[in-house]
Structure formats: C-alpha cells, structure tokens
Structure 1
C-alpha cells in the first residue's frame, strides 16, 4: 500500500472544510431567500449579476459570461433565464450591433425583488458565517472569507467567487 503524502491529506481536509462551509452557507441563504422572496440562491445570483450590467461598451454579459457568473452550464443558465423571464423578472432582446447576440436585462419587477431580497441574502450570509465561526474547523475559513477584500454584501453565495 502506498504511503499517503501528509501535505495532500491536509489539502484534502482543507478542501472538505471549504466545501462544508460553502454548503452550510448556501443552504442557510437558500432557506431564507425561498421563504421570504420565493427565490433560489441561483435565481438571486443571476438577478444580482445581471443587475450590474450597463449600456456602455462591454456593459452587457453574453450568456457564457452569465453562466460563469452563476456557476452553471450554459444550458442550465438558459433554463434559469427562461424561468425568470416567465415570471417577469428578466427580459431578452437582440444585440443592436450583432443580431446574433441576445442580451438579458433585469426588469423593473426583477430589480424591485432583488432590492427586497438583498438584505435577506446579506443577513443570512452573516448568520451562516457567525454560526460557522463557532466551529473550530471552519473558523479559519470564515476569517479568510471576512478578510478576502470582497464586499460580502455584493457577492452572492452562488456567484462566481464561491465554489460550486
């Protein structure tokens, strides 16, 4: 039997702890968003990502960029966009300079829901991090998240900066 490299074992344990932290946070936020706003973490993340678009050069995200931002495949992202479009939270239109391109924008109703849901997302994130900080295995990761320089209020859990 081959000996296990202690550095790789520690790395694997670290990855498991990070995965555990992510799962706990996402589950906590999912529950809060679903119960208060009828949104999943992925739906919130999509609305949040698309709400940052602007009309200037490079201001609109292509579907691949949207998929990367919400950590989903392009086909899953398209289904998610369709669901939110059916709910009146998003709209799609052709790119004015390249008729092959399709842009997706958050509607007024989508922005209203996002504005209402943002404090829920942020509060649930804070609660989940505070709870995880009491676990000695997760406390160092919580400190790392809190000092990473990424504003927590604008980074959804299901967004690009979180593990999938």
Structure 2
C-alpha cells in the first residue's frame, strides 16, 4: 500500500512539473511574440549568444547537434527552426571547418540585437513564474 501511495505521489509530482512547464512556455511565447520570437526561437538565440567560441576552434557559434542537446529539440525540428531564423536574418549557417559534413550556426548582428531586446522579457517571465 505504501509503495502504491509513493508511486501515485511521484506521478502527481511529474504531472505538476508538466503543467508548470506548459504554463511557463505559453507565457514565454506570449511575451516574446512582441519581439517576433517564440520560446524555442529565444532558446536557440540565447544558446548562441552565450559562448561564441566555446570550443576554441576560432569559429563562432555551435554545431547544430550541440544546439539540439541544449534546447532539447530533435535535429529535424531544430533544422526547421534554424532555417526560419536564418530567413529572418537572425542567424547564419556555414560549413564546419573541422568537418565539412557538419553545419555551424552563429548569430548575426541582427540576431544579437534581437536577443538583447528579448532577454529582459524572457528573464522577467522566468522570474515571475518560477521565483519563490
């Protein structure tokens, strides 16, 4: 009986996490819409704005698979998102100099500016929804 109660508590906790995630994601999408972004768009821009030369290769940005690991999107979903951001002039894609089969994604100046404008909005939503 105790094991069943513990299992039900675990399931209840998991569902609470899912509800919180959905609420925060919805609020982020709503707040970022004024900047022409959704939550996933912002996450990609935020990753790219974080460390432009993290791997020491001298190349800015990240490989697509490195981004997908950080934003928790499939590579195909991320590829579509990056294509849309590139079309909007926010990112640019290039072949990886260390592996010509790979693609590297970097912020453009326009993308860096858009990220800078949206950053306080995203952080305010996170603070309001998750702090305390």
Distance of 1:60 and 1:113 partners within structure 2: 16
**Mapping 1:31-42, distance limit 5 Å:** 31-34=30-33, 36-42=34-40
Q: Which runs of 5+ in 1 are unaligned?
A: 131-142, 144-164
Over aligned residue pairs, what C-alpha RMSD do you find?
2.1
TM-score normalized with structure 1 length = 0.71
Question: How far does residue 121 in structure 1 lie from its aligned partner after superposition?
Answer: 0.3
Runs of 4+, deviation exceeding 6 Å: none
Question: How far does residue 60 in structure 1 lie from its aligned partner after superposition?
Answer: 4.6
Q: Match for residue 63 of structure 2?
A: 62
Q: Match for residue 18 of structure 2?
A: 19
**Mapping 1:7-156, distance limit 5 Å:** 7-34=6-33, 36-55=34-53, 56-57=56-57, 60-129=61-130
Q: Is the 8 A contact 1:28 1:125 kept in 2?
A: no
Q: Match for residue 156 of structure 1?
A: none
Higher helix share: 2
Question: How far does residue 67 in structure 1 lie from its aligned partner after superposition?
Answer: 1.3
Counterpart secondary structure, 1:5: helix
Q: Is the 8 A contact 1:67 1:74 kept in 2?
A: yes
Counterpart secondary structure, 1:103: strand
User: What does the per-residue CA deviation read over 1:74-102, in whole Å, with 9 as the maximum and x for residues that have no partner?
Assistant: 00100000000000000011122222221
Classify 1:102/1:9 alpha carbon distance in 2 versus 1 (closer, same or farther; 3 Å): same
Distance of 1:24 and 1:120 partners within structure 2: 16
Distance of 2:78 and 2:121 partners within structure 1: 23
Higher strand share: 2
Distance of 1:95 and 1:84 partners within structure 2: 19
Q: Is the 8 A contact 2:47 2:67 kept in 1?
A: yes
Question: How far does residue 52 in structure 1 lie from its aligned partner after superposition?
Answer: 2.1
